[in-house]
Amino acid sequence: MAFCSCNQFLSSTYPFPIFNKNSKSVPKFLNSRVPQSLQFQAYMSMDQCGVPLTKIKIPHILTVAGSDSGAGAGIQADIKACAARGVYCSSVITAVTAQNTVGVQGVDIVSEAFVSQQLNSVLSDMQVDVVKTGMLPSLGIVNVLCQSLRHFPVRALVVDPVMVSTSGDILAGPSILSVFREELLPMADIITPNIKEASALLGGVQLETIADMCSAAKQLHAMGPRSVLVKGGDLPDSLDAVDIFFDGKQYHELRSSRVKTHNTHGTGCTLASAIAAELAKGSPMLRAIKVAKRYVETALEYGKDIVIGNGPQGPFDHLLRLKRGLYSSTKQMEFNPSDLFLYAVTDSVMNERWGRTMTDAVKAAIEGGATIIQLREKDADTREFLETAKACVEICHFYGKPLLINDRIDVALACDADGVHVGQSDMPAHLVRTLLGPEKIIGVSCKTPEQAKQAWIDGADYIGCGGVYPTNTKANNVTVGLEGLRTVCLASNLPVVAIGGINASNARSVIELGMPNLEGVAVVSALFDRENILSETRNLHASLIQAVSKVKS
Ligand SMILES: Cc1ncc(COP(=O)(O)OP(=O)(O)O)c(N)n1
Ligand SMILES: Cc1nc(C(=O)O)sc1CCOP(=O)(O)O
Ligand SMILES: [Mg+2]
């Protein structure tokens, strides 16, 4: 069988270097074996009859960790998390634990020589993209791992410094701390300690507040990893789950509501594996962490009521009861609040009135400056809507703009749209999130502060607030006015887009409210019920730019 690289994939490189810039012994981008820079690399190949075949390389994580006989954590959690996130997972087992939901009853450490042999088997052959480490129970095992990583460099190293199990059992003693600090951490792209592990790595300091977590992240970063995620799940007195990410320059406070459940065994392993999976797909670090956190939250939500074992901490449902089978293993478009700046909501009745197709209308709106498109079809046949939606996804992605579907989760899934917009009488946003998965964009219409708060809890990405002005486009719509918009913006943790009766003449007053989380305006008739969409969009775009610069000055 003859293989040759397919050129269209050659430019698809990873956005991150292999090892930490401070690492003394490992050169950056060292690559001795295979062209690993080609994510999802495709090979054009011929079989014996000369028929072309396409082979696709899927992202590959190697987990170096301990086995958990109860399968909630360790190697078993890593493999399930990777399967759920659409990447391949090989495994090097460092220890076999006898474990259940009560605790750890026994540990059998695998010999250094055999860990080394496993590492060699996988790394010498299988084109690993990202290595993720979990339980590393002896100094010798950390040493052989570091040696292997020098010999077989990979794209990224995720170190979950597992020391104590959720049940409080010791999985790696203090003897490994020095080799962690001196050898492994400087090689890592990210380390993901919880509060107890961060404290142990820092010699036993007390971490009780978010400020303490930031300080710990900075001190751990000084040990050499490119970035640090200190997980605050154990932080006392916090209603939310708060993690601190530090990339050496900036701190990011990542906050999410806690899922009320005892089924949390293995969340640390799962989060680190999910981060590794996103990195292997090509996401930058912060994005990888956000997606991984959402995945863990969704999995906890799915598993919150399951009963496995009699102990205090049960496993959860990594595969989300296999309900979300339509997750894509390809990289999804990232939501940026600035996408809401000029939000075009389509209307096919208006398009028909002006004698044009939906695809022409979408193209013209984007060329005029629309930053995001929503397909809103109240009466279309599903089949016809789906075909239009598929064509519009292509157009939007060609221009690098996200496309959302109004109301119809099924259509959004079927055409692999970037997300959906739902209102208060549509499917609840938390269910939309579980159906669409952690990466898709979800917007929710909100007219009150309570609705805005709920949208945030439900895992939405933004809210739409209106009607700011009276509109003929949506029957019986309640007008909340500029004051209503201001009240909702003040209550919202999410970015807001204003909607309802907005056009190039009154958009200024909306922007001049000066609310920091008000990112833009959504419009239907001012763009689509006009003869020339391109010039109307340009006009509105110019008004918005003018208004924003006035607010800033
Ligand atoms: C950006 C944006 N904001 C609000 C809406 C309205 O959604 P909803 O309340 O569900 O009403 P319908 O659009 O479904 O009639 C929206 N579509 N987009
Ligand atoms: C779809 C929609 N939702 C609204 C809300 O208030 O939530 S107002 C509206 C219609 C917006 O159309 P136009 O820009 O033509 O006024
Ligand atoms: Mg709706």
Give the pLDDT mean for 289-314: 91
With helix as H, strand as E and coil as C, how does 470-500 read? CCCCCCCCCCCHHHHHHHHHHHCCCCEEEEC
Give the mean model confidence (pLDDT) for residues 294-298: 91
Q: Which ligand is nearest to the CA of 477?
A: 2
Mutate to test the pocket of ligand 1, among 339, 348, 379, 445 (most ligand atoms within 8 A of CB): 445
Rounded mean pLDDT, 499-504: 98
Q: Can you give the pLDDT at residue 351? A: 96
pLDDT at 553: 84
Q: What dihedral do alpha carbons 373, 378, 383, 387 form, nearest 10°?
A: -20
* pLDDT over 50 (residue 430): yes
Report the pLDDT value the prediction gives residue 159, as an integer from 0 to 100: 98
Read off the pLDDT of residues 117-159 as tens digits, 9 standing for 90 and up: 999 999 999 999 999 999 999 999 999 999 999 999 999 999 9
ipTM, 2 dp: 0.98
Joined tokens for residue 97: 């634990």
**β-strand pairing of 104-109 with 130-133:** unpaired
Residue 468 has pLDDT above 80, yes or no: yes
Pairing of strands 228-231, 104-109: unpaired
Query: So what's the pLDDT on residue 333?
Result: 85
pLDDT of 33 over the 60 cut? no
When the pLDDT of each residue in the chain is averaged and rounded to a whole number, the result is 88
SS3 of 327-373: the string is: CCCCCCCCCCHHHHCEEEECCHHHHHHCCCCHHHHHHHHHHHCCCEE
Q: What is the pLDDT of residue 274?
A: 98
pLDDT for the residue numbered 319: 85
Mean pLDDT over residues 277-302, rounded? 94
Nearest protein CA to atom 8 of ligand 2, as residue: 500
* 470-496: average pLDDT: 97
- E-strand spans in 144-300? 156-159, 190-191, 228-231, 240-246, 251-257
**323, pLDDT greater than 80:** no
pLDDT tens-digit series, residues 516-530: 999 999 999 999 999
C-alpha–C-alpha distance, residues 47 and 53, integer Å = 7
* Ligand 1 atom with minimal separation from the 464 CA: 3
Q: Is the pLDDT of residue 273 over 90?
A: yes
Atom 16 in ligand 2: residue holding the nearest Cα = 501
Both structure tokens of 69: 């006989």
Average pLDDT over residues 445-472: 97
For residue 361, the model assigns a pLDDT of: 98
User: 5-9, 263-267, 310-314, 486-490: which range is least confident on average?
Assistant: 5-9
pLDDT of residue 313: 87
Segment 81-85 mean pLDDT: 95
Nearest ligand, CA 498: 1
pLDDT confidence band for 40 (50 / 70 / 90): very low
pLDDT category at 305 given cuts 50, 70, 90 is: confident
Summarize the confidence of residues 199-222 as an average pLDDT. Answer: 94
Task: Give the pLDDT of residue 237.
Answer: 63
Asked whether residue 35 carries a pLDDT value surpassing 80, the answer given is no
**Does 502 contact ligand 2 (Cβ within 6 A)?**
yes
Given a cut of 50, is residue 38 above it in pLDDT? no
pLDDT tens track for 326-363: 444 456 788 999 999 999 999 999 999 999 999 999 99
- Closest ligand 1 atom number to CA of residue 340: 1
Of 268, 178, 266, nearest to 229 (Cα)? 268
- Please identify every residue annotated as catalytic: 231, 264, 266-269
pLDDT, average across residues 43-53: 62
Task: Tell me which of 202-216, 310-324, 385-399 is least confident.
Answer: 310-324
- Which residues lie closer than 8 Å to 216 by C-beta, 6 or more apart? 198, 199, 202, 205, 207, 230
Q: Are 311 and 42 in contact (CB under 8 A)?
A: no
